[in-house]
Structure 1
Amino acid sequence: MKTFDPIRMEVLRNALEATAQEMGAVLKHTAFSPNIKERMDASCAIFTADAELVAQAEHVPVHLGSMLRAVKPTLDRTGPLEDGDVVIVNDPYVAGAHLPDITLIAPVFIKNERVAYVASRAHHSDVGGMEPGSMPGSSKEIFQEGILIPPVKLYRAGVLQTDIMDMVLSNVRTPEERRGDLNAQLAALRIGERRMEDLADRFDAEVLKEGLAAILDYTERRMRARMAELPKGVWYAEDCLDNDGSSDDPVWIRLKIEIEEDRIAFDFTGTSPQVRGNVNAVAPMCWSSIFYSLKLLTDASLPPNSGVLRPVSVHIPKGCFLDAQRPAAVCAGNTETTQRLADTILKGFAQIAPDRIAAASNGTMNLIGIGGVDPRNGRPYTYIETSGGGQGGRPMGPGMSGVHANMSNTLNTPIESLEISYPLRCIRYELREGSGGVGQHSGGEGMVRAIEVVDHEARVSLQTDRRRFAPYGLHGGADGLPGRNWRIVADGKHTEQPAKGSVTLSHGEAVVLETPGGGGWGQPPAHENAEG
Structure 2
Amino acid sequence: MNPVDQAVISQALLSAAREMGIALYRSAYSSVVRDGKDASTGILDADGNAVAQSDELIPMLVGSLSITFRSCAARYPIAKLREGDFYICNHPYHGAHHLQDILIFVPIFFEGKIVAFSAAVAHHLDIGGGAPGLNSSSTDYFQEGLVIPPSRYNLADDWNDDGPLRHFIGANIRVPEATLGDIDSQFAACAVGAARVHEMCRKYGAATVTEAMGEMIAYVERRVRASIAAIPDGTYVGEDALDDDGLSEAPLPIKATVTVRGDSLTVDFTGTCPQVKSHMNAPFASTVSATLACIKSVLSGEDVPFNEGASRAVTVIAPEGCLLNPRPPAPVRARMEASYRAYDAVLKALGQAMPDRAIACGYDTTTGFCLSYLQDGRYRVFLELRDGGYGASADGDGCDAVAGPLSNCTNTPIEQIDADYDFFRIEHYRLRPGTGGAGRQRGGLGSSRGYRILADGVRLAIYADRFRIAAGGLAGGGPGALGFCHVHRGDEVIEVRSKADVSLRKGDIIVLASGGGGGHGDPALRGRAAIAADEAQGYV
Q: TM-score range by the shorter chain?
A: over 0.9
Query: Do 1:476 and 1:521's aligned partners in 2 also have CA atoms closer than 8 Å?
Result: yes
2:63 maps to 65
Query: Do 1:459 and 1:502's aligned partners in 2 also have CA atoms closer than 8 Å?
Result: yes
Q: Indicate how the Cα distance of structure 1 residues 228 and 360 shifts in structure 2: closer, same or farther if over 3 A, else same.
A: same
Code of the aligned partner of 1:358: I
- Residues 271-294 of structure 1, C-alpha deviation per residue, up to 9 Å, x if partnerless? 111111111111110111111111
Describe how 1:173-212 pairs up with structure 2 within 5 A. Answer: 173-212=174-213
1:129 maps to 129
Code of the aligned partner of 2:11: N
2:511 maps to 512
Code of the aligned partner of 2:471: P
Query: Do 1:87 and 1:104's aligned partners in 2 also have CA atoms closer than 8 Å?
Result: yes
1:38 maps to 35
CA distance in 1, matches of 2:203, 2:230: 38
Code of the aligned partner of 1:73: S
Q: Which of 308, 311, 332 in structure 1 is aligned with 2:310? A: 308
Query: Do 1:28 and 1:37's aligned partners in 2 also have CA atoms closer than 8 Å?
Result: yes
Q: Indicate how the Cα distance of structure 1 residues 163 and 40 shifts in structure 2: closer, same or farther if over 3 A, else same.
A: same
Query: Do 2:281 and 2:326's aligned partners in 1 also have CA atoms closer than 8 Å?
Result: yes
CA distance in 2, matches of 1:343, 1:96: 22
Query: Do 2:440 and 2:525's aligned partners in 1 also have CA atoms closer than 8 Å?
Result: no
- Residues 70-127 of structure 1, C-alpha deviation per residue, up to 9 Å, x if partnerless? 2212222232132211222111111331111111110011111111111100011111
Contiguous gaps of at least 5 residues in structure 1: none
Query: Do 1:297 and 1:353's aligned partners in 2 also have CA atoms closer than 8 Å?
Result: no
CA distance in 1, matches of 2:466, 2:82: 46
Give secondary structure in 1 for the equivalent of 2:334: helix
Question: Are residues 1:54 and 2:51 paired?
Answer: yes
- Residues 280-326 of structure 1, C-alpha deviation per residue, up to 9 Å, x if partnerless? 11111011111111122211232211101111112211221211122
Query: Do 2:254 and 2:269's aligned partners in 1 also have CA atoms closer than 8 Å?
Result: yes
CA distance in 1, matches of 2:503, 2:281: 25
Deviation at 1:49, TM superposition (A): 1.1
Detail structure 1 runs of 4+ shifted over 6 Å in the superposition: none
Query: Do 1:252 and 1:272's aligned partners in 2 also have CA atoms closer than 8 Å?
Result: yes
Q: Indicate how the Cα distance of structure 1 residues 158 and 44 shifts in structure 2: closer, same or farther if over 3 A, else same.
A: farther
Deviation at 1:6, TM superposition (A): 2.3
CA distance in 2, matches of 1:303, 1:76: 27
- Residues 435-469 of structure 1, C-alpha deviation per residue, up to 9 Å, x if partnerless? 11001110011011121221342111011001111
CA distance in 1, matches of 2:526, 2:203: 63
Query: Do 1:137 and 1:461's aligned partners in 2 also have CA atoms closer than 8 Å?
Result: yes
Q: Indicate how the Cα distance of structure 1 residues 75 and 451 shifts in structure 2: closer, same or farther if over 3 A, else same.
A: farther
Give secondary structure in 1 for the equivalent of 2:173: coil
1:166 maps to 167
CA distance in 1, matches of 2:212, 2:100: 34
CA distance in 2, matches of 1:526, 1:361: 21
CA distance in 1, matches of 2:297, 2:274: 28
Describe how 1:116-515 pairs up with structure 2 within 5 A. Answer: 116-133=116-133, 135-155=134-154, 160=159, 162-300=163-301, 301-333=303-335, 335-374=336-375, 379-422=378-421, 423-489=423-489, 491-515=490-514
CA distance in 1, matches of 2:253, 2:2: 48
Q: Indicate how the Cα distance of structure 1 residues 55 and 298 shifts in structure 2: closer, same or farther if over 3 A, else same.
A: same
CA distance in 2, matches of 1:527, 1:472: 18
CA distance in 2, matches of 1:477, 1:101: 37
CA distance in 2, matches of 1:187, 1:211: 25
CA distance in 1, matches of 2:352, 2:425: 45
Deviation at 1:372, TM superposition (A): 1.1
Give secondary structure in 2 for the equivalent of 1:185: helix
Give secondary structure in 1 for the equivalent of 2:116: strand
- Residue identity over aligned pairs, in percent, reads 34
CA distance in 1, matches of 2:526, 2:41: 48
Deviation at 1:23, TM superposition (A): 0.6
Deviation at 1:159, TM superposition (A): 5.5
Code of the aligned partner of 2:30: S
CA distance in 1, matches of 2:345, 2:514: 20
2:20 maps to 23
Deviation at 1:396, TM superposition (A): 1.6
- Residues 10-38 of structure 1, C-alpha deviation per residue, up to 9 Å, x if partnerless? 11111011001111111111111111111
2:72 maps to 74
Q: Indicate how the Cα distance of structure 1 residues 471 and 108 shifts in structure 2: closer, same or farther if over 3 A, else same.
A: same
Code of the aligned partner of 2:312: R
Query: Do 1:475 and 1:521's aligned partners in 2 also have CA atoms closer than 8 Å?
Result: yes
Give secondary structure in 2 for the equivalent of 1:69: helix
CA distance in 2, matches of 1:251, 1:402: 25
CA distance in 2, matches of 1:456, 1:195: 50
CA distance in 2, matches of 1:453, 1:144: 27
Code of the aligned partner of 2:63: G
CA distance in 2, matches of 1:64, 1:124: 16
Q: Indicate how the Cα distance of structure 1 residues 321 and 527 shifts in structure 2: closer, same or farther if over 3 A, else same.
A: closer
- Residues 155-209 of structure 1, C-alpha deviation per residue, up to 9 Å, x if partnerless? 2566537222111111111011112111111100111111111111111011111
Deviation at 1:260, TM superposition (A): 0.6
Give the paired residue count. Answer: 523
Code of the aligned partner of 1:383: F
Give secondary structure in 1 for the equivalent of 2:211: helix
CA distance in 1, matches of 2:158, 2:147: 22
Q: Indicate how the Cα distance of structure 1 residues 158 and 222 shifts in structure 2: closer, same or farther if over 3 A, else same.
A: farther
Once the two structures are overlaid, the 10-residue window that deviates more, 241-250 or 182-191, is 241-250
Query: Do 2:390 and 2:443's aligned partners in 1 also have CA atoms closer than 8 Å?
Result: yes
Question: Are residues 1:8 and 2:28 paired?
Answer: no
RMSD of the TM alignment (CA)? 1.8
Code of the aligned partner of 2:444: G
- Residues 32-69 of structure 1, C-alpha deviation per residue, up to 9 Å, x if partnerless? 11111111111001111111110001210111112243
Deviation at 1:405, TM superposition (A): 2.1
Deviation at 1:526, TM superposition (A): 4.8
Deviation at 1:379, TM superposition (A): 2.6
Query: Do 2:435 and 2:446's aligned partners in 1 also have CA atoms closer than 8 Å?
Result: yes
Query: Do 2:441 and 2:526's aligned partners in 1 also have CA atoms closer than 8 Å?
Result: no
Code of the aligned partner of 2:308: S
CA distance in 2, matches of 1:140, 1:357: 38
Q: Indicate how the Cα distance of structure 1 residues 103 and 205 shifts in structure 2: closer, same or farther if over 3 A, else same.
A: same
- Residues 406-452 of structure 1, C-alpha deviation per residue, up to 9 Å, x if partnerless? 11111111111111111220112111111110011100110111212
Query: Do 1:85 and 1:158's aligned partners in 2 also have CA atoms closer than 8 Å?
Result: no
Code of the aligned partner of 2:426: C
Q: Indicate how the Cα distance of structure 1 residues 155 and 295 shifts in structure 2: closer, same or farther if over 3 A, else same.
A: same
Code of the aligned partner of 1:517: G
Deviation at 1:485, TM superposition (A): 1.3
Question: Are residues 1:98 and 2:98 paired?
Answer: yes
Query: Do 1:138 and 1:245's aligned partners in 2 also have CA atoms closer than 8 Å?
Result: no
- Residues 194-227 of structure 1, C-alpha deviation per residue, up to 9 Å, x if partnerless? 1111111111011111111111111111211111
